[in-house]
Amino acid sequence: MKYSFGHNLRLLLNQLNQHRFYTAVCVVGTAVTMAFVMVVVMVYDFRTADVAPETRRSRVLYNYGTQCMRPDGTNMWGYRGLGPTAFHAFFDDLPGVDELTFHGGLRKAVCALPASSDRHSVLIRPVAANWFEFFRYDFLAGRPFTQAEYDAGRAALEKADDEWRSVRNRDDGVVRRFVVISEKLAGELFGGTAEAVGKQFLLDFQEVRVVGVVRNVSSIFQTAYADVWEPFTLIYEENMDPSTSTGGLIGFHYTVLHLSSDASPDEVRAEVNRRMEQLNKQGLEYILQDPRLYTHTEYTFFRDGSIHAGLVYGLLLVILLVVPAVGISGLVHAQMQSRLGEIAIRKAYGASNADIIGRLFAESLCTTLMGGVLGYALSCVLVVAGGTWLFGTGGVELEGIVLGSDLLLRPTLFLTVLAACLVFNALSVLLPAWIAVHRSISYTLTGGE
């Protein structure tokens, strides 16, 4: 006899209601398991997926530090950014790279309105002229700085005459400092995004003008994140250590390379190493070693180790799924013992083993899905509450972390929840159900006598 979907659903819900304690234990157990599984999935997904503003993660290489020393091994600078000489030698017309950009790292600064005593601590990132073309920021007001505004930074500073400061202001009254700021900072300083454009404020006690405001960027985006983005030219690299001391080999360039579709990271690394060897043969006072080039996954996880991040997270997921599934499988097996009479009667009335296993699987799947949805909600709470220690790596010091709905509520994550629920359900119910249906009817009805 065939029944409608609605009838089968009512039977399923009625069956779950008859075993409330078992249902509650399975839902809570599944929820806790799914929460920990989804925290692992979310951390890996947030840190590696192509998500705005870092939409090119799967095809980028990061140059995050190169070692510099004299040929005899003395005067080692350690791992620092590249100076202009090495930057152009390494990356100009580099085969396999269709676009590159660079930044000067992330540093803390203090900002305030000219007539205000309120101070705001911000994170500032000097960036290349094409930074806002390479990354996909959402401009709420204004625009990126133009090439002319970017170039104006070269004339904004000059060498100082005293030993305490490496640069000083030109005082001809011409504004040469243009910045892009975050939505949050625009609200704190000017009360809104539109109000901020064209206004001036003090950044490390130097006057700057706002040309654009972007939507807040979560600090899980290690490279794109900042409160203030200023032209890289304001660093005045050519007249500052370590660039002046090393002949332009070491400086403040941290490069991001976007690989062409037919290029591999190893090929690009090999070419950069070849160019480094050529540069080292020019008889300069310093030489370079180990130009670190990381893929995004390498850059994010186990940066200086030989551990494969995907394998580590895969094994962790297996452990998180299998171990609890074994425990719940024992609970399911015990619950099956109380239903052996019911199973035997169904078999006596002609139900096949596949039909019975399917019904038991559907009952378990229902509780698993309820636990999965609850676990997903719990995982969102966990990653938001524990975001600082879960994501606070990669050179970004965090006091808090913002995870918007665009990160937490994504179709891929929902599909991952569903897939994890199916795997967990299969692991926990199929074996006990198979054992139960393969008991003989006479053995079951007589209680094994």
Per the domain annotation, does 81 fall within a domain? yes
Q: What is the pLDDT of residue 398?
A: 45
Q: What is the pLDDT of residue 354?
A: 81
Query: In this structure, are 273 and 396 located in the same domain?
Result: no
Per the domain annotation, does 297 fall within a domain? no
Mean pLDDT of the chain: 80
Query: In this structure, are 325 and 236 located in the same domain?
Result: no
Query: In this structure, are 285 and 434 located in the same domain?
Result: no
Using the predicted structure, report yes or no on whether residue 161 has a pLDDT greater than 50: no
Domain boundary among 246, 265, 291: 291
Domain count, the chain: 2
Query: In this structure, are 92 and 22 located in the same domain?
Result: no
**How confident is the model over 280-305, as a mean pLDDT?**
86
From 203-217, 238-252, 416-430, the region with the lowest mean pLDDT: 416-430
Q: What is the pLDDT of residue 54?
A: 93
Query: In this structure, are 363 and 315 located in the same domain?
Result: yes
From 27-31, 188-192, 241-245, 411-415, the region with the lowest mean pLDDT: 411-415
Using the predicted structure, report yes or no on whether residue 373 has a pLDDT greater than 50: yes
Q: What is the pLDDT of residue 426?
A: 74
Residue with more model confidence, 414 or 109: 109
Query: In this structure, are 231 and 260 located in the same domain?
Result: yes
Do 34 and 381 contact (CB within 8 A), yes or no? no
Query: In this structure, are 164 and 131 located in the same domain?
Result: yes
Using the predicted structure, report yes or no on whether residue 226 has a pLDDT greater than 70: yes
From 50-54, 228-232, 266-270, 343-347, the region with the lowest mean pLDDT: 343-347
DSSP code string of 342-369: HHHHHHHTT--HHHHHHHHHHHHHHHHH
From 160-164, 292-296, 347-351, the region with the lowest mean pLDDT: 160-164
Q: What is the pLDDT of residue 375?
A: 81
Query: In this structure, are 345 and 314 located in the same domain?
Result: yes
Residue 23 token pair: 């249902």
Distances (CA, A) of 23 to 15, 88, 180, 257, 381: 10, 65, 54, 52, 24
Q: What are phi and psi of 171, to 5 degrees?
A: -115, 35
Per the domain annotation, does 60 fall within a domain? no
Residue with more model confidence, 264 or 382: 264
Q: Which domain holds residue 154?
A: 65-291
**How confident is the model over 16-35, as a mean pLDDT?**
73
**How confident is the model over 46-62, as a mean pLDDT?**
90
CA nearest to 179, candidates 155, 207, 159: 207
Alpha helices (H) in 182-291, listed in sequence order: 183-190, 193-196, 265-280
CA nearest to 66, candidates 295, 267, 247, 276: 276
Using the predicted structure, report yes or no on whether residue 11 has a pLDDT greater than 70: no
CA nearest to 142, candidates 197, 200, 187: 197
Distance (Å, whole) CA 420 – CA 257: 35
Domain boundary among 291, 325, 351: 291
Q: What is the pLDDT of residue 303?
A: 63
Q: What is the pLDDT of residue 305?
A: 56
**Is this model's pTM higher than 0.75 or not?**
no
Using the predicted structure, report yes or no on whether residue 395 has a pLDDT greater than 50: no
Q: What is the pLDDT of residue 152?
A: 86
Using the Cα atoms of residue 305, residue 307, residue 313 and residue 315 in order, give the sign of their dihedral: negative
Q: What are phi and psi of 78, to 5 degrees?
A: 80, -165
**How confident is the model over 150-175, as a mean pLDDT?**
56
Per the domain annotation, does 58 fall within a domain? no
Q: What is the DSSP letter of 98?
A: E
Domain boundary among 291, 316, 343: 291
Q: What is the pLDDT of residue 383?
A: 74
Amino acid at 232: F
Query: In this structure, are 326 and 367 located in the same domain?
Result: yes
From 54-58, 71-75, 203-207, 432-436, the region with the lowest mean pLDDT: 432-436
Per the domain annotation, does 182 fall within a domain? yes
Using the predicted structure, report yes or no on whether residue 240 has a pLDDT greater than 60: yes
Q: What is the pLDDT of residue 170?
A: 47
Query: In this structure, are 17 and 85 located in the same domain?
Result: no
**How confident is the model over 132-157, as a mean pLDDT?**
90
> What is the per-residue pLDDT across 89-140, written as a single tens digit (0 to 9) for each?
999 999 999 999 999 999 999 999 988 888 999 999 999 999 999 999 999 9
Alpha helices (H) in 192-242, listed in sequence order: 193-196
With vertex at residue 45, the alpha carbon angle to CA 39 and CA 49, rounded to the nearest 5 degrees, is 165
3-state secondary structure of 321: helix
> What is the per-residue pLDDT across 332-360, written as a single tens digit (0 to 9) for each?
666 666 667 777 777 777 778 788 777 77
Residue 373 token pair: 């949805």
Per the domain annotation, does 298 fall within a domain? no
Per the domain annotation, does 112 fall within a domain? yes
**How confident is the model over 400-409, as a mean pLDDT?**
55
CA nearest to 62, candidates 226, 233, 258, 250: 258
Per the domain annotation, does 105 fall within a domain? yes
Query: In this structure, are 218 and 346 located in the same domain?
Result: no
Query: In this structure, are 139 and 258 located in the same domain?
Result: yes
Neighbouring C-beta atoms of residue 416, cutoff 10 Å:
18
Using the predicted structure, report yes or no on whether residue 4 has a pLDDT greater than 60: no
Distance (Å, whole) CA 189 – CA 227: 12
